[in-house]
A and B are shown apart, each in its own frame.
Chain A
């Protein structure tokens, strides 16, 4: 009697994500990055900070996969070490952005009228400040550090997330299914967890991926300008700024850090889009062909018995 129920071909979010080329490519690159960051903590081919004037500007070889820079550092090793910085910055900035964004969005949509209107104005004002400029100003005031980069881009993008999520939350809490859930006994917390979060997730995930991508760009940019990572922290932006002074003489060297930054930011953007598409069951579930999946019904309310051509598709039920 108790045999496993025949299950519908159920496709997980991750499964769908990996099925699309862009999702798979983005996920692969980011997975490689994570592995590289983890490995670089314990091992790099050569010490990334050892300088050796006699091996400056060596071309790529077995010993130096990507060659060496002006002071003889191994570029490949340095890129690996710097990937850890990138991951830490992106993850921390993402976390800050989530907390700030969802917190402000909830305050701006679910509280008493005067609070939420106040928060809405605050969000609009904060959105007006360009994130990277604020980060530079903070770095100028408090000295450059990764903390400044994380806080500035996290808060900066958190505000953008708040603005988008706030209107999404307001849309969802007015939906009939939220009223229905409350009529089933759901309190505010249950409504938020069970209905609001899953329904705003697609928009939210895209914003989060943009926040992480921006934080990577901000870190690279600020480090390039000398406001970001300190000299003893490896950073793609810092390496790029070191190498670009010799761009006319050794143009190929900038390819390493340049591509690393570009590909990572691109991968984050693609992954965000892919997750958004995968999180929507209307896009995720294919019509199984058997057993009663029907074409979407017309939006027009009310039956029109006089006109059989316009009435909704017949039910498969008994």
Chain B
């Protein structure tokens, strides 16, 4: 198992934002975490990273590649981030440093986890940029985020998340900020990269239609609790819980409007 979560509970003050969540993610598996906003999806990913906001407390057990990470000190946790678990955040407009070149950004996990010359870092960044389908990889690495489109920026974030070959990839609503065409391209990219490398994927979203393109199974979260779990196709066809039904209806509505 690359990611095992057992009885994870996250409390902010006396509110439980994640309530007794357990999940298993094996090598190469793709799991969706779906729910409305405020259902505790993002808190779960932040808990895995040990990056919960101040005031939030996590109990339970989280194991990455068999290693327990809950309760680990910051100095023991930082080496795992980026190396064992890569993360793609929601908004590519804000998750790239505006004064850092694309190349330095992509190679950052490598620089943080090992000695690497600038030259090597640049070469690795160029290769990674080509892999995620960025145009003109050799010149784009010298550009700055503001010179790229939203979809290109999200490709940069994905390249960054995967460059150190983590065994788990966390994706927190990675396509929400993109327009529909770009969304489809980025989702296809996710699938391809994850398949090629055998990376496990935990994909957080509120959109079942999006999820059906990248994940096989999904957990449905509501108010921090898992209310339903199963294959995405089954959830789409015959949702049992009212929350799932609501999500399916929302999906139908947007699909209908878009077509």
- Which chain B residue shows the least CB distance to A190? B112
Q: A292-B135, A306-B257 are in contact. Are A182 and B155 (CB under 8 A)?
A: no
- Interface residue count on the A side (C-beta < 8 Å): 49
Indicate whether A294 sits within 8 Å of B135 (C-beta atoms), given known contacts A194-B108, A198-B99.
Answer: no
Residues of B within 8 A of A313 (CB): 149
Interface flags, A25-67, vs B, CB<8A=1, else 0? 0000000000000000000000000000000000000000000
CB contacts (< 8 Å) of B87 on chain A: these are 180, 183-184
The answer to whether A297 touches B150, judged by C-beta atoms less than 8 angstroms apart, is yes
Could you tell me if B178 and A303 are in contact, using CB atoms closer than 8 angstroms? yes
Closest to A286 in B: B147
In the complex, how many angstroms separate the beta carbon of A17 from the nearest chain B beta carbon?
16
Q: Are B155 and A317 in contact (CB under 8 A)?
A: yes
In contact, A183 and B108 (Cβ under 8 angstroms) = no
Q: With A and B bound together, what is the CA distance between A6 and B140 in angstroms?
A: 10
Please tell me if B142 contacts chain A, counting CB pairs below 8 Å: yes
Partner of B97, one of A190, A199, A296: A199
Q: In the complex the two chains form, is A315's CB within 8 Å of B151's CB?
A: yes
Q: Which residues of B have CB within 8 Å of A176?
A: 89, 91, 94-95
Segment of B1-9, B78-86, B194-202 engaged in the interface with chain A: B78-86
A183 engages B151 (CB within 8 Å): no
On chain B, the residues within 8 Å of A6 by CB distance are 138-139
| B133 x A182 contact (CB < 8 A) | no
A183 touching B97, Cβ below 8 Å: no
Stretch at the interface among A72-80, A92-100, A210-218, A277-285: A277-285
A125 contacts B by Cβ under 8 Å: no
Residues on B with beta carbons closer than 8 Å to the beta carbon of A315? 149-152, 181-182, 185
Q: Are A177 and B96 in contact (CB under 8 A)?
A: yes
**Of A185, A194, A201, A281, most B-chain CB atoms within 10 Å:** A185
Q: Give residues in A with beta carbon < 8 Å to B.
A: 5-8, 10, 175-177, 179-188, 190, 194-195, 198-199, 201, 279-282, 285, 287, 291-294, 296-297, 301-303, 305-306, 311-318
Add 19 more A-B contacts to A195-B100, A279-B99 (CB < 8 A). A5-B126, A181-B97, A182-B78, A183-B82, A183-B89, A184-B108, A184-B109, A184-B161, A185-B78, A185-B82, A185-B113, A188-B74, A199-B97, A292-B152, A293-B143, A294-B149, A303-B177, A305-B257, A317-B185
The 3 closest A-B pairs by CB, nearest first: A185-B82, A184-B82, A176-B94
